[in-house]
Amino acid sequence: MAGANHSSMTEFVLLGFTDQQKLLFMICLLIYITTLVGNLGMIVLIRTNSQLHVPMYFFLSQLSFLDICYSSSITPKLLSGLLAERNIISFNGCITQFFFFAVFGTTEAILLAVMAYDRYMAICKPLNYLTAVSHGVCIQLVVGSYAVGSLNAFVHTSTLLRLSFCGPNLVNHFYCEIPPLLLLSCSDTWLNKTVMTMCIGFIITASLLAIVVSYACIVLTIWSIPSAEGRHKAFFTCTSHLMTVARFYGSAAFLYFHSFSRGAEDQGKTASIFYTVVIPMLNPFIYSLRNTEVRSALRRATKKLISCVYPHRSRSNQTRVGIACLSGASSRNKADS
């Protein structure tokens, strides 16, 4: 790859963060472990609970999988860099990291729009819901999201490979991203900036438009429900998704539409920590805390796990229940006599 674009650069040095590296390492490691455990737990919970085998939770399991992949494309290299004196990444490794980061990030943006369409069909057209959002349609929507994400990543990677990098090789970021890499190129980067603005702008605009239109129809439908309790219940199923959309697109808009000047790099690094490390951790907690079906399924799974790990406690509880029942029956018999 390095020879394909006539670049003399074989490796980059990711400057990352220079202050409080050990503290930042512990925080990021804890967040990453929580991300893996939370999202894997959500996937297992949805797959093993038959009551959650509906399109909404199928898309949620795909979102959890994307969060794992998205975070894993960035955080392990960030953690190793915080412990190393010089965080070095090869040219090929840098391009590969950016490619997968772009694939998973774009796919998640499209998937959030797909989840808004799912809520629209469930609330606005409930009679056609199971037909319009069947399992086969869900698979097609997820595959289409990955296809768009892969295409977007391929376009940006191709435009990066046409550039020449003659030095210096110091990337003022903790992972390989377009803006800091363009600042190191000795080629004309006008095409890269134009392609990035057009592609990311189109994806964000189209996805947000689909979400806004879906929720506009949802609001109109909810408003026509005569019961206040029914309106609250219908809208409550959408709040978790709306919170996820607000965080994801808000961070994405800030990262990709701030200026390319060197003064904006430090600001972009700080925002990227939230965008790439923190957000993947938050989604499972938001959906589990605000969704009654997920909470009840989690309680049942926890009780089942405890009964498997501590079977003697389960038997003792059953024994106490049985004794209580027998005592109650004996009392009733005495009263009858």
How far apart CA 334 and CA 337 sit, in angstroms, is 5
Phi-psi region of 124 (alpha: psi -120 to 50; beta: other; left: phi over 0): alpha
Q: Where is pLDDT greater, at 5 or 39?
A: 39
pLDDT band at 112 (very low <50, low <70, confident <90, very high): very high
Q: What is the pLDDT of residues 141-168, one digit of tens each?
A: 999 999 999 999 999 999 999 998 887 8
Residue 130 is predicted with a pLDDT of 85
Question: Counting Cβ atoms within 10 Å, is residue 223 exposed (0-12), middle (13-18) or buried (19+)?
Answer: exposed
Residue 36 is predicted with a pLDDT of 95
How far apart CA 33 and CA 29 sit, in angstroms, is 6
Q: What is the pLDDT of residues 23-41, one digit of tens each?
A: 999 999 999 999 999 999 9
pTM of the predicted model, to two decimals? 0.83
- Asked if residues 1 and 160 have their Cβ atoms less than 8 Å apart, the reply is no
Question: Counting Cβ atoms within 10 Å, is residue 41 exposed (0-12), middle (13-18) or buried (19+)?
Answer: middle
Q: Positive or negative CA dihedral for 219, 225, 226, 229?
A: negative
Residue 33 is predicted with a pLDDT of 96
- Does residue 8 carry a pLDDT above 70? no
- Does residue 1 carry a pLDDT above 50? no
Q: Where is pLDDT greater, at 50 or 60?
A: 60
CA-nearest of 305, 303, 304, 294 to 54 is 294
Q: What is the pLDDT of residues 226-280, one digit of tens each?
A: 777 777 777 777 888 888 888 888 777 776 666 444 455 566 677 788 888 988 8
How far apart CA 47 and CA 60 sit, in angstroms, is 11
Q: Where is pLDDT greater, at 1 or 300?
A: 300
Q: Where are the alpha helices (DSSP H) in the chain?
A: 21-48, 55-72, 75-83, 91-124, 129-132, 135-161, 178-182, 190-223, 228-257, 265-273, 279-290, 292-309, 311-336
Q: Please state whether the peptide bond connecting residue 284 to the residue before it is cis, i.e. omega within 30 degrees of 0.
A: no
Q: What is the largest CA-CA distance in the chain?
A: 100
DSSP 3-state of 8: coil
Average pLDDT, the chain: 83
Q: What is the pLDDT of residues 283-327, one digit of tens each?
A: 888 876 667 777 777 777 777 767 777 665 545 555 554 554 445
Query: Which domains does the chain carry?
Result: 11-310 (1.20.1070.10)
The 10 Å CB-count burial string (b at 16+, else e) for 75-105 is: bebbbebbeeeebebebeebbbbbbbbbbbb
- Does residue 129 carry a pLDDT above 60? yes
